[in-house]
Amino acid sequence: MTEANIAKSTSGNLVKDEPVQYVNELTTLNLGPTHPATHGIFQNVLTMDGEKIIAGEQTVGYIHRAFEKIAERRPFYQITTLTDRMNYCSSPINNMGWHMTVEKLLGVEVPKRAQYIRVIMMELARIADHIVCNGILGVDTGAFTGFLYIYEYREKIYEIYEEMCGARLTTNMGRVGGMERDLSKEAIRKINEFLTTFPPILKEFERLFNRNRIFMDRTIGVGGISAERAMSYGFTGPNLRAAGVDYDVRVMNPYSSYEDFEFDIPVGQHGDTYDRFMVRNEEIWQSLRIIEQALKNLPEGPYFADAPEYYLPPKQEVYRSMEALIYHFKIVMGEIDAPVGEVYHAVEGGNGELGFYLISDGGRTPYRLHFRRPCFIYYQAYPEMCVGSTISDAIVTMSSLNVIAGELDA
Amino acid sequence: MLSNQTVAEEIVKKFGDDVYDFEEPFGLLTLTTTREQIIPMLEYLKNHSDFKISFLTDITGVHFPDTIPDREYAVVYHLHSFIHNFRVRIKVFLAEADLHIPSVTNVYASANWMERETFDFFGIIFDGHPNLVRILNMDEMDYFPMRREYPLEDPTREDKIDALFGR
């Protein structure tokens, strides 16, 4: 491969001030689109000098499903199902972020109880998301055991989702204006069971990894990024916090009553793979704390807002009262017009700031809806993070970034 | 704590007639500028000794085909100051005939893919971008799918005519 070709194929990622002497003949390695280590469909074209990566370029878009275009034709409540399919490891956060965006546009005030239930579900989703990321990071470094220990509890979380909304992966949980049902006795029992049985397992998991010499050697100093570069690259969430910036949407712009809870924001120092792992682990503990507080202080009262134009009436009412029937019909047929407005609302997703930029022209559908997908924005830093390292380091770096293909491609 | 008023006044002082259409939808300071001023403005906000609005949250495009002529496309920048927890939204309107805007990749590295995405879906050309090619759609595509003239469904379909709702 000639130098001109490298420069062309890597589109400027290869920074060269002076001619570099390569040890070996350069090879091009396709990492993906379907590679076990990508955990999704996206490609990295790496230029290798022997075992060393000297340039990289990502190809994304393999599962692009045109959500933003589809959303322009759908009534607001039908867009929830699109948000599920972005970060499918923590769909309730996406669902509720979307509901809150619409509620902000409509000016609907959600009762405290619904907000607390939302917090519980969102934190469970965050735990599930971090379990996936950290468990798989272990697998990618060659430690399968921890993954088996901890993955069972993702399943338990999915059982709680099932109790709440009937679905497991693509949850479509909640409604504009509140939740579709109250926390059932069974759901509370399952959450309590999770809160008692999960911490010992998480401790065990941490004992397997945190001070494990092999794991530390594989992750410390690997795939590091400075706080300044991370901010320039638009990092948010655990990846930014691992670099030492304590930005968390839950604290800075509290939504859904996050200001009522006491929790810490873990930050790292070096922004390397080990820090990302540790930040996620600590966030799981903090999420457990939030869930405990929310369950303990769960307010009484309705679990949906008094917004008949937007929140589906109870089915029994639909059969008995004319008014409820009309609203039911109007909502289901998507005949409810939203006010004119322009909203940006952000929530702290599993990977960072998940933003919804919504422009409404007063119709039944959004005029324009844009998702700020944290994965998509920070994944562009990947070549910079892995250039100069080896293939095995590049794989743990990618794994610890927690790139979710669904969120990447929308 | 920064207020919208303070920031707006400072920006007007610096940029004068090049900023207009100040709004505050849902409390978020929104302003419009020209494409010549977008890079100076982002740099000004980033390096301002007090504001430090140094995080680019988002770039996206919007298509308004039926509005005022020469304002058919908008590029929308969302910026955030972590220090003051202050957000600002900057819009630049472009004419259909001349869809060029300077790229801000030299100010923010994260703008790279966001601009590529905007180009991919709206056909807005970011001058000075290091690698302005499609990102999510396939390279062979010869149109820009998020423009309003491309309906989601084939309008000539006859099996889905709904006499009551007309869609």
Does A73 sit within 8 Å of B30, measured CB to CB?
A: no
Q: Are B130 and B112 in contact (CB under 8 A)?
A: yes
What pLDDT does residue B152 have? Answer: 76
B124 within 8 A of B61, measured Cβ to Cβ: yes
Tell me A316's DSSP state.
Answer: H
ipTM of this complex: 0.90
Q: What is the pLDDT at residue B56?
A: 92
Mean pLDDT of chain B: 87
What is the per-residue pLDDT across B27-58, written as a single tens digit (0 to 9) for each?
899 999 998 999 999 999 999 888 889 999 99
pLDDT more than 90, % of chain A: 48
Quick check: B15 pLDDT over 70? yes
- A33 prior amide bond cis, ω within 30: yes
Packed helices A391-401 and A273-296: angle between N→C axes, nearest 10 degrees: 20
pLDDT tens track for B82-107: 999 999 999 999 998 889 999 999 99
Q: What is the pLDDT of residue A17?
A: 55
- For the stretch A215-230, pLDDT in tens is 999 999 888 899 999 9
**Please, what are the domains in chain A?**
3-59 (no CATH), 67-306+336-409 (1.10.645.10)
Distance CA A406, CA A89 (A): 9
Kindly list the distances between the CA atom of residue A345 and the CA atoms of A253, A291, A298, A369, B78, in Å, as whole numbers in the listed order. Answer: 10, 23, 25, 11, 11
- Under the banding of pLDDT at 50, 70 and 90, the label for residue A7 is very low
Position B67 pLDDT exceeds 90: no
- Which of A333, A370, A379 minimises the CB distance to B60? A370
State yes or no: pLDDT of A284 exceeds 90.
yes
DSSP string, B54-74: -EEEEEEEEE-TTSSTT--EE
In angstroms, what separates the C-alpha of A351 from chain B's closest C-alpha? Answer: 14
Stretch A318-327: mean pLDDT, rounded?
A: 92
| Fold of the B4-97 domain | Beta Polymerase; domain 2 (3.30.460)
Nearest-10 Cα torsion for A151, A153, A155, A160 = -160
| Interacting residues of A388 by C-beta distance below 8 A, sequence separation 6+ | A52, A53, A54
Query: pLDDT by residue (tens digit) across B4-13?
Result: 888 888 888 8
CA distance to partner chain A, nearest, from residue B153 (Å): 9
**A73–B153 CB contact, under 8 Å:** yes
Mean pLDDT of A337-347: 91
Give the pLDDT score at A8: 44
Q: Do A409 and B130 touch (CB under 8 A)?
A: no
Of B85, B93, B100, B107, which Cα lies nearest the Cα of B41?
A: B107
pTM of the model: 0.90
Domain boundaries, chain B: 4-97
Query: Does the pLDDT of residue A75 top 70, yes or no?
Result: yes
pLDDT surpassing 80 at residue A16: no
Name the residue in chain A with its Cα closest to that of B87.
A344
| Mean pLDDT within B132-156 | 84
Cα–Cα distances (Å) from A279 to A153, A201, A239, A244, A267, in that order, read: 19, 18, 8, 10, 6
| Average pLDDT value for residue range A73-92 | 90
Q: Which residues pair with B33 in a beta bridge?
A: B19, B92
- Mean pLDDT in chain A? 88
CB count, 10 Å around CB of B127?
Answer: 10
State the Cα–Cα distance between residues A358 and A101, nearest whole angstrom. Answer: 8
pLDDT of residue B158: 64
Cβ within 8 Å, pair B110-A377 = yes
Q: Render pLDDT for A60-72 as a digit per residue (tens, 0 to 9).
A: 888 899 899 989 8
Name the residue in chain A with its Cα closest to that of B88.
A344
CA–CA distance, A288 with A92 (Å, rounded to integer): 16
Whether residue A9 has pLDDT greater than 70? no
Q: Yes or no: say if B19 and B40 are a contact pair by the CB < 8 Å rule.
A: no
Tokens 């679905």 correspond to what residue? A167
C-alpha B147/C-alpha A54 separation (Å) is 38
